[in-house]
Amino acid sequence: MLKKIIIGLMALFINAPLHAETSSTINQTSTQDCQDFTNVDIRKLRSKESINLCQFKNKPLLIVNTASNCGFTPQFKGLEALYQQYKEQGLVVLGFPSDDFFQEEDSEKETAKVCFVNYGVTFPMFATSEVRGSKANPIFKYLNEQTSSPNWNFYKYLVSADRETVLRFNSKAAPDSEQMIAAIETALSEK
């Protein structure tokens, strides 16, 4: 019996580095297979952890520039409802807080409180960054080239799963509007 345990432990230790190498290789491969604008690491809101947006490959993305102290801030509720309704079908909502319009909190702690505590956001939120001009984060640089820069907070960009189509919706387009729902359902049916 002891011999079987020792052999089992030896097999575990011998295979552990192989497993780690395989896992690392898989992550590199998936990033290498992703050659679109989402192949970028972005730091999560109030975290040291970054994620590569390629993990959402082959899924439609709803990308939103957000702000904590804007008249449109209550749209967080609608965005979260959209995420809950469509995430099992593949929709990914991504929030990018920005102070480009001078309506974001001064600290990430306060921004996180507004998003996670006040509005119960569960979709990925990222560290505060610029979304306009030459210092825009890489995601918004691409979106701005494809359509145009957001003119205010809570502009929404619906990116198709194949990354070929970008639809831009202004702040007044409520997350639960017929226009948004129709566009999301179309994007989900095409993935």
Instruction: Enumerate the active-site residues.
Output: 70
**Angle of CA points 57, 20, 7, to nearest 5°:** 140
Identify the pLDDT of residue 108: 96
pLDDT tens per residue, range 122-173: 999 999 999 999 999 999 999 999 999 999 999 999 999 999 999 999 999 9
Identify the pLDDT of residue 31: 60
Identify the pLDDT of residue 20: 35
Identify the pLDDT of residue 78: 98
Task: Provide the residue-wise pLDDT of the chain in tens; the chain has 191 residues.
Answer: 444 444 443 333 333 333 333 333 334 435 668 889 999 999 999 999 999 999 999 999 999 999 999 999 999 999 999 999 999 999 999 999 999 999 999 999 999 999 999 999 999 999 999 999 999 999 999 999 999 999 999 999 999 999 999 999 999 999 999 999 999 999 999 97
Q: What torsion do the CA atoms of 73, 65, 113, 80 make, to the nearest 10 degrees?
A: 70
Identify the pLDDT of residue 30: 56
Identify the pLDDT of residue 14: 36
Are 90 and 186 a contacting pair, CB within 8 Å?
no
The model's pTM is: 0.83
